[in-house]
Amino acid sequence: MGLMKTPGRDEKKGPDLQALLADWPESFYRERSPLVRNAMLEEADQQGLTPEDNALRRRIFDRRYPVIRGEEEPADLFLRLMMELKVQAQNSSGFFGERFARRSALKLLEKTRIAELAEEGGRMRELLRQELCHLGVLYVTICGEDGNYRSLILGLGKMTDERLLEKIRGDLTEIAVTAPAKLKLEEEFAPLTESLLAVKEEYL
């Protein structure tokens, strides 16, 4: 299920940006490394490839990966938001717990600015959708590659491919639908919900 397989690279030489940009911008949404994606975006700007869209992509990218230093892969705030929603969907906390969870989700949503970016509409909303679909496919890929994720209870064997797909479909539904409804934040999370359900429909 390696939907985002990254080809082998010579770490000393780094990625071949010219090869990666040969089918820009599609390659940007296939790449899983934030550092390589950042380098691709910078090089695309240097070459004058889709400059108007790149200005919007940069705004989205900087919200998803707010801190990039050196050669260390940065934290992915969009993925962190997904995991927060997954936890909340599976959490059976009471009224006060849900109020705290709602505030926590709103705080993280504010950091990502997903709702505000979507409100700009037009091309920004479309490029945000593409980035959120990239997020969804990345999640599916990571789950498919993670041996622990597909382990059965108590580590007694591995799930079949069909059971694995069913588990991932369940995750995406919890993140995209169950958690926003539970937190009464359906409107705020609508862009993420739409994109994750699209990924579920296309890939699973």
How far apart are the C-alpha atoms of 79 and 87, rounded to whole Å? 13
In this predicted structure, what is the pLDDT of residue 9?
Answer: 52
Structure tokens at 156: 């007694």
Q: If you average pLDDT over every residue of the chain, what do you get?
A: 90
| 201 CB burial (10 A radius; 0-12, 13-18, 19+) | exposed
- The confidence band for 1, taking pLDDT boundaries of 50, 70 and 90, is very low
pTM of this structure: 0.91
In this predicted structure, what is the pLDDT of residue 2?
Answer: 43
Is 62 contained in some domain?
A: no
Count helices and strands in the chain by DSSP H and E runs: 10, 0
Which residue(s) pair with 184 in the sheet? none
**Is the pLDDT at 8 greater than 50, yes or no?**
no
- The confidence band for 192, taking pLDDT boundaries of 50, 70 and 90, is very high
Tell me 152's DSSP state.
P
Residue 165: domain span: 78-203
**Percent over 90 (pLDDT), the chain:** 74
Tens of pLDDT, residue by residue over 133-144, are 999 999 999 999
Is 140 contained in some domain?
A: yes
- The confidence band for 96, taking pLDDT boundaries of 50, 70 and 90, is low
Domains contained in the chain, number: 1
Distances 37 to 3, 25, 28 between C-alpha atoms, Å: 16, 11, 6
Number of other residues whose CB lies within 10 A of the CB of residue 26: 9
What would the DSSP string read from start to end of 30-62?
T---HHHHHHHHHHHHHTTSSHHHHHHHHHHHH
Is 64 contained in some domain?
A: no
Mean pLDDT of 83-99: 78
Number of other residues whose CB lies within 10 A of the CB of residue 162: 8
**Is the pLDDT at 193 greater than 80, yes or no?**
yes
Is 187 contained in some domain?
A: yes
**Is the pLDDT at 115 greater than 70, yes or no?**
yes
Is 182 contained in some domain?
A: yes
Is 1 contained in some domain?
A: no
Is 42 contained in some domain?
A: no
Tens of pLDDT, residue by residue over 59-79, are 999 999 998 888 889 999 999
Is 28 contained in some domain?
A: no
